[in-house]
């Protein structure tokens, strides 16, 4: 079993042949998208030159800054969902063709709309768009190219999924477990080493953000085929699934939120990923639990369904508002007017994009999948 006695419900459903719909994961995705939106709402005001942050809002800004971890929720969720689908399809003779067509039809339509909007509407975005077209925009800092959008996270995911299907297809599930655990250890060690030796943290580079994807992949292995876990991984997971690690991670997260200048962001990223991993695992083990009923709310599921478009378009709309209406401010009237206008425009675009672009694109699967 993958669980210690203190966690008496292991993932004993393997091997699975189907990945069912889990509404709580839609709600969790909605939470992540909203957290990122709130983050950008505040930081785009805070970063205005000569802008003074009112003392009363400083705690609010600290809370809003936690929205950056919404990205890590996406990484762990993506690692889990995509690896689960890959494991289920690993015996399919059209494994690679079907996987990449699914990714193209799910990602590219909205992605290309975002890049077109950035190219024509945002000054200085051409370098960003060109790098995003080849999914390398997370390395824009090396080329001194301005960052004008959120496509860097898509670059990390697509780089990972260029190689990860090769692993899932060609090695045993036991070795997929080992590889996922190795990615987690490598990424955490690389981040900590860079922070301690170089004194800074460049978390947009792929090799520094693999622990979230790796934790999601590790959970997918447990969910699809728990019994193939090698003994060393079983012992590791037995330790991770006991209460002390989650208590320690939660305590460190609280410390980091209250005293961010005294924490180590390289470690905070891992504890965030680990807590998301534990939450998703809890959701899978306790379907329809009362404690996660809030994640099944219609509002969060709605935002989960439009989360991709919301994530890709809201920064463009903030930039357009600030360019044509005026500089963002913490004064109540302009702040809430900006929030209202950008929120309404984002929701409208997301609903239209969902109905006119995303869903029609997904229906094209029947023409290209084998």
If you average pLDDT over residues 231-249, what whole number do you get?
94
pLDDT digits (tens, 9 = 90+) for 286-327: 989 999 999 999 999 999 999 999 999 999 999 999 999 988
Over pLDDT 70: what percentage of the chain? 95
329 vs 130: CA distance, rounded Å? 32
Alpha helices in 259-306 (DSSP H): 265-285, 298-305
Please, are residues 330 and 54 in contact by the beta-carbon 8 Å criterion?
Answer: yes
What's the pLDDT score for residue 17?
64
Mean pLDDT of 112-126: 96
Helix 307-324 × helix 95-121 angle, to 10°: 10
What one-character-per-residue DSSP string does 8-23 give? ----TTPSPS-----H
Give the integer Cα–Cα distance in Å for 202 and 141: 9
At 178-233, the pLDDT tens digits run 999 999 999 999 998 887 777 666 788 999 999 999 999 999 999 999 999 999 99
**Which distant-in-sequence residues (6+ apart) come within 8 Å of 157 by Cβ?**
75, 78, 213
Band of pLDDT at residue 27, cut at 50, 70 and 90:
very high
CA 246, 37, 44: angle at the middle one, nearest 5? 115
Over residues 131-175, the pLDDT tens digits come to 999 999 999 988 889 989 999 999 999 999 999 999 999 999 999
Query: How far apart (Å, rounded) are the C-alpha atoms in residues 367 and 370?
Result: 8
Judged by average pLDDT, the poorest of 19-23, 86-90, 135-139, 275-279 is 19-23
Rounded average pLDDT over 335-348: 96
Chain centroid, CA 76 distance in Å: 6
**Nearest in space to 44 (alpha carbons), one of 313, 319, 260:** 319
326-346 burial by CB neighbour count: b if 16+ within 10 A, else e?
A: eebebeeeebeebbeebeebb
**Angle at CA of residue 152, ends 67 and 22, nearest 5°:** 60
Please confirm whether the linkage preceding 113 is cis (ω < 30° from 0): no
* Residue closest to 107 by CA, chosen among 180, 34, 159, 37: 159
Nearest residue to 322 via CA among 51, 20, 17:
51
- The mean pLDDT of 78-106, rounded to a whole number, is 95
Query: What separation in angstroms does the CA of 105 have from each of 42, 112, 152, 360?
Result: 33, 11, 19, 9
């Amino acid at each position: 079993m993958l669980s210690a006695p203190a966690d008496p419900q292991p993932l004993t459903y393997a091997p699975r042949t189907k990945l069912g719909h889990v509404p709580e994961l839609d709600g969790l995705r909605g939470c992540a998208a909203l957290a990122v939106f709130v983050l950008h709402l505040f930081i785009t005001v805070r970063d205005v030159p000569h802008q003074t942050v009112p003392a009363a809002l400083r705690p609010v800004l600290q809370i809003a800054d936690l929205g950056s971890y919404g990205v890590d929720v996406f990484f762990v969720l993506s690692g889990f969902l995509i690896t689960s689908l890959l494991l289920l399809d690993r015996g399919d003779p059209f494994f690679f063709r079907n996987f990449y067509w699914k990714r193209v039809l799910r990602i590219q339509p909205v992605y290309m709309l975002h890049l077109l909007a950035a190219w024509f509407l945002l000054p200085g975005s051409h370098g960003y768009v060109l790098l995003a077209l080849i999914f390398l925009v997370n390395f824009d800092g090396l080329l001194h190219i301005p960052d004008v959008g959120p496509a860097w996270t898509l670059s990390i995911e697509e780089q990972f999924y260029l190689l990860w299907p090769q692993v899932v297809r060609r090695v045993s599930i036991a070795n997929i477990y080992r590889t996922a655990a190795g990615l987690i250890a490598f990424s955490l060690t690389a981040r900590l080493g860079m922070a301690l030796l170089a004194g800074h943290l460049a978390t947009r580079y792929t090799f520094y953000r693999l622990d979230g994807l790796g934790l999601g992949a590790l959970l997918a292995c447990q969910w699809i085929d728990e019994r193939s876990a090698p003994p060393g991984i079983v012992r590791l997971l037995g330790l991770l699934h006991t209460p002390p690690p989650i208590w320690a991670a939660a305590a460190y997260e609280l410390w980091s939120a209250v005293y961010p200048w005294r924490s180590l962001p390289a470690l905070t990223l891992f504890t965030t990923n680990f807590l998301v991993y534990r939450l998703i695992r809890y959701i899978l083990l306790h379907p329809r639990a009362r404690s996660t009923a809030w994640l099944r709310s219609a509002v969060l599921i709605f935002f989960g369904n439009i989360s991709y478009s919301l994530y890709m378009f809201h920064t463009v709309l903030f930039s357009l508002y600030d360019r044509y209406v005026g500089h963002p401010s913490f004064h109540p009237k302009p702040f809430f007017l900006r929030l209202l206008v950008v929120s309404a425009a984002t929701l409208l675009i997301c609903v239209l994009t969902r109905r006119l672009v995303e869903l029609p694109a997904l229906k094209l699967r029947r023409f290209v999948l084998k």
